[in-house]
Chain A
Amino acid sequence: MNTFTSLITLLIFPAGLSLVLVGMFYEWVDRKLVARFQNRVGPRWFQPFADALKLFAKEQIRPAIVNPYLFFGLPVAALAGALTAALYVPLMGLSPASSFPGDLIVTIYLLSLPTMCVGLAGWNTSGRFSLIGATRTLTQLFAYEAPFLLAMLGPALVAGSWQINTINRFTQDHWLILTQPVGFIVALIGLMGKLELPPFDAPEAETEIVAGALTEYSGRGLAMFKISRSVELIIGLSLVSSFYLGGLNGIPSFLFKSLALLLVMSVLQVLLTRLRIDQTVGLWWRFGAILVLAQLLVMILWKGLAL
């Protein structure tokens, strides 16, 4: 019985299938918002589902020179990584499916897995656009990962725990966006970098390198990478809103807070011009990392003085 429940939890709800569906819904919201800001009508509500279904039905072309195991395995690994990360996060405001001390670190690393897979996939296909795309994806990973981690560290420090669930409970009475605004901004922008949304879309800059690391992917593989990205979007939104926006304690609060975050993100996407990869790295290390570090320092001192 217990196994059965875990299976349901894992595959259907709240992780697994429902997560994928919600992820696609959020992707639609994002596309629709961007389209409305650009004065367009935008896609219909089922567009991401239709796209994914179509991709699954299409032929998957494998370039002759690639390693077939990696070529077919990487999309699965990316999706699996993203879905596993979902287990530790208070998705849709419900308490996480699984929780243990230190799961924050695990989640953040699992969240990087899809990006790593994209990078590897690009390297494996060894097309010219894919290679440049892979290099850029990994460069960007190194740029935003540390500041993003530090931004997640802030709330953990205040809550005095490495467990997402505990932090979530703590933040329900503390709106950390008010006390740690820098951390919030860095986390939000770090999330955009993670998802390669404009202006951090240099790794898949259409006008330079076609579709970056995924140029050679078609059909199922492409669909899986796309789905893992929308799952990442949900997880990221949940993490940031639970840490900084007063925690998540139910489906309404999840919907309200994450959609508000998404709105802010789409405004940023619409307003900003793509950064070159060197500008992205510069931005993170020159401003992002230092600001967060400064904030951490202040917090540690504050804590020390308070004691």
Chain B
Amino acid sequence: MNSIWAVHFNSGSCNGCDIEILATLTPRYDVERFGIKLQGSPRHADVLIVTGPVTRQARERLIRTYEQMPEPKFVISVGSCSISGGVFEGCYNCVGSVDAVIPVDVFIPGCPPRPEAIIDGIVQLLTELKGGKARTPQKQNIAEEIST
């Protein structure tokens, strides 16, 4: 797994995480050197990066985007809001955390997490995968294992 193509979904975030995700593409952090690329179409993606507390309106779109991705696929939830709802906990239009909606493999806390933290999260996903590969050859199972 040296090639990670990610698709980014904002499910109601304040933009803080989103600009930090974009910052990882730019010269100072440049994730292309790890083979990580941000793709436009969910069909081309391996990893779904979700930011923000899931709002009621974004919920169905999030599920649809997730379902459009080909297997094997992984989900990274970035930022405090996407993990627990953060400051928006209890707001009337928020469903809450991302893992209430779709299975999540990696959580990256922070408000917003630094770009270094985001890169580290993706690297941790890769290490998990490499470690898991020996145990079970089927990658789908690993995704389920991690998420449970």
| Chain A contacts to B: CB under 8 angstroms | 31, 35, 38-44, 46-47, 50-51, 53-54, 58-61, 129, 206, 210-211, 214-219, 222
> How many inter-chain residue pairs (CB < 8 Å) link A and B?
70
List of B residues within 8 angstroms of A60 by Cβ: 70
Interface of A is mostly: loop
Pick the contact of B27: A38, A53, A54, A217 (CB < 8 A).
A38
Q: Of B14-22, B29-37, B58-66, B94-102, which binds chain A?
A: B29-37
Number of residues of chain B lying within 8 A (CB) of chain A: 20
Q: Which listed residue (B32, B43, B46, B68) contacts A40, Cβ 8 A?
A: B32
- A211 to B3, alpha carbons, bound, how many Å? 18
A222 and B44 contact, CB distance less than 8 A: yes
- Contact across chains for B40 and A44 when beta carbons are under 8 A apart: no
Q: Do A218 and B43 touch (CB < 8 A)? A: yes
Docked pose: A59 CA to B143 CA in angstroms: 15
A-B CB proximity, top 8 nearest: A59-B70, A50-B2, A39-B27, A50-B3, A40-B30, A59-B71, A41-B33, A210-B40
Contacts of A217 in B (CB 8 A): 43-44
Closest to A222 in B: B44
- A210 neighbours in B (Cβ, 8 Å): 40-41
Given A42-B32, A44-B35, verify A61-B43 contact (CB < 8 Å).
yes
Does B71 lie within 8 Å of A58, measured CB to CB? Answer: yes
Across the interface, which residues of B come within 8 angstroms of A214, CB to CB?
A: 41
Interface residues of chain B: helix, strand, loop or mixed (majority) = loop
| B3 partner residues in chain A, CB cutoff 8 A | 47, 50-51, 53-54
Question: Which residues of B, 55-89, contact A by the 8 Å Cβ criterion?
Answer: 68, 70-72
- B interface residues with partner A (beta carbon < 8 Å): 1-3, 5, 26-27, 30, 32-33, 35, 39-41, 43-44, 46, 68, 70-72
Q: What would 13 A/B residue contacts be, using CB atoms closer than 8 Å? A: A40-B27, A40-B32, A41-B30, A44-B35, A46-B2, A50-B2, A53-B3, A58-B46, A210-B41, A214-B41, A215-B43, A218-B70, A219-B70
Nearest CB in chain A to that of B2: its residue: A50
Within the complex, what minimum Cβ distance (angstroms) separates A135 from chain B? 18
Q: Give Cα distance in the complex from A31 to B3, angstroms.
A: 14
Contact between A216 and B43 (Cβ–Cβ < 8 Å)? yes
Distance A141 CA – B3 CA, assembled complex (angstroms): 31
Chain B's nearest CB lies how many Å from the CB of A285?
A: 30
CA distance A216 to B41 in the complex (A): 8
Is the beta-carbon distance between B70 and A211 smaller than 8 angstroms? Answer: no
Residues of B contacting A218 with CB < 8 Å?
Answer: 43-44, 70
